[in-house]
Homo-oligomer: A and B are copies of this chain.
Amino acid sequence: MPKVTEEHRLARRAQIVAAARTCVIEQGFHKTTMADVIQESGLSAGAVYSYFKSKEAIVAAIAEDALSAIDELFEKLLASAEPLSPLMALERTIAHVVTVAEAPGGDVTRVAVQAWAESLRNEEIHEVAKGKYCQLRDHFLDIVRRAQADGTVDPDVDPLHIAQVMFGMIPGFVLQRLLIGDVTPETYSAGLRALLRQ
């Protein structure tokens, strides 16, 4: 019989993750200190460490959140019955990226970029990233297969290769948005429509 409800525990955990995310968005994983997270969360060091056993665990939690963010809503948006052309799927994904990025709580795409870098030297995060992105890519794979069935896309090309290229357009949008700042769903749509077969 815990003194506090499971609800309370989850709320505290979320509070810590939110605080940590805020810090990471501003300073990155490595410049964010536990003292920053503790202060931002409004809890004590001991409290934070009773929810996460180490800084690494917090980083992993935030990274997983950020890597899931796109796919989470992707499922909702694209899992509808009506077939979606590759172009429309990309347009909706890009639009969703911006929605998620501009949601309150800070731009998670900044955390995702951190997670990409971290994946290169942290096997745990690498596994998460690989898993999440394969899952996301599989959604594009479904769309490609439907389009091949429709005859909209050449059925003789391996659909995985097409899904690779489709998925591969997302990080480039995220990166241009963060580093250069002149891309929007509208500019990307225009470019896509000019470049892609339809």
Contacts and interface: CB of A to CB of B under 8 A. Distances in A.
A110 B114 contact: no
**Copy count, this protein chain:** 4
Given A157-B193, A191-B165, A120 B172 contact: no
A170 interface: yes
Interface string A129-173: 110011001000000000000000110011011111111111111
A192 interface: yes
Interface residues on A, range: 35 or more
Interface of A: 26-31, 86, 110, 113-114, 116-121, 126, 129-130, 133-134, 137, 153-154, 157-158, 160-173, 175-176, 178-180, 182-183, 187-188, 190-197
